[in-house]
Structure 1
Amino acid sequence: MSVRLETALGPLFVKGLPDTSPGRVATQRREYETSWHLHGLGPRARWQIRTSGWHLVAFDYLNDARHADYRPESADLAPIANLLKEVARLPIPEGVDLRRAEQRLSAYGTREELQHVAGNTLLHTDLNPHNVLLTKDGTAHLVDWGWATLGAPWLDAAAWGIWLVASGHTPSAAHAWAARVPAYRTAAPAARHAYAAMTTALWEDIAEASDAPWVSRVRDAAGAWAAATRS
Structure 2
Amino acid sequence: MARNDVDLLDLSLDELLTTTRTVRKRLDLTRPVPRALITECLEIAVQAPNGSNQQRWNWHVVDEPDLRAEVAEVYRSGMSGHQADPNRATRDIDYSTEEQQRIASSVAYLRDHLHKVPALLIPTVGGRMDEADIFLQASVWGSILPAVWNFMLALRARGLGSAWTTIHLHKEAEMAELLGIDAAKHTQVGLFPIAYTVGTEFGAGARQDLADLIRWNGAG
Q: Same fold (TM over 0.5)?
A: no
- Structure with the higher strand share, 1 or 2: 1
Question: Structure 1 length as normaliser, TM-score?
Answer: 0.29
Question: Structure 2 length as normaliser, TM-score?
Answer: 0.30
Bigger relative contact order, structure 1 or 2 (CA pairs below 8 A, ≥6 apart): 2
